[in-house]
Amino acid sequence: MKKMRRVYQEEAKTRHTAHWDWDYLSWEEIERRLKEAGVKEEKRTPSIAKIHKKRRATHGIWIGLGLLAVAMLLLWVMIR
């Protein structure tokens, strides 16, 4: 006897799958039905704090690489 495979329903797939019966519904009705089904709305935009933190980290890396290049150049000039 074969084992039945379990089917897992993904929230993202449920939220973005087109349903033939939804063609005639308004967006408010669709959102209400999704909410009743327990499908949560995805947060798409990162917070401003996260964006600034990533930007500061990137700037720090570039500044560090620049200082390393200057130090290596000065060392090369001093040795020569």
State how far the Cα of 16 lies from the Cα of 24, in Å rounded to an integer.
16
Looking at residue 10, its pLDDT comes to 62
Looking at residue 53, its pLDDT comes to 87
Looking at residue 39, its pLDDT comes to 76
Give the length of the chain: 80
Looking at residue 37, its pLDDT comes to 82
The mean pLDDT of the chain is 79
Looking at residue 64, its pLDDT comes to 95
Tell me the pLDDT tens digit for each residue of 8-23: 656 655 666 656 566 7
Domain boundary assignment for the chain? 1-43, 45-80
Whether residue 36 is predicted with pLDDT greater than 70 in this model: the reply is yes
